[in-house]
Amino acid sequence: MPALFIIQADVSGEAAARARYREYQARVQPLIAAHGGRFRASGVGLEVLEGDKDARRLIVFEFPSMDALRAFWNSAEYAELKALRAGAARIDAWAVPAQ
């Protein structure tokens, strides 16, 4: 069963931190792909139907399974990238089984 990896990110306004976050993005996307993940959506064009939307970035990836998503999240390679992201952005991340 597929799994969705949903992220909301609050990227620092500091120039050096934004540069680190751009490097993180460039390096994390191939790692996600190596674990079978595919970009599915971003908050660009998001339409609020009810309630509020905060200012954080919204990104959605789809993995072939929860196991594949967890393998990515718990990998040594991603641990290195999380360290790169530290201080550049605060994220909330969710793993959601899809139907």
What structural domains and CATH numbers belong to the chain? 3-97 (3.30.70.100)
Residue 54 pLDDT level (bands cut at 50, 70, 90) = confident
pTM: 0.90
Q: Read off the tokens for 32.
A: 């996600």
Residue among 33, 21, 29 at smallest CA distance from 83: 21
Q: Is the pLDDT of residue 82 over 90?
A: yes
Average pLDDT, the chain: 94
Residues 21-31: what's their mean pLDDT?
Answer: 95
Cα 37 from Cα 18, distance rounded (Å): 24
Cα 88 from Cα 16, distance rounded (Å): 8
pLDDT for 94: 97
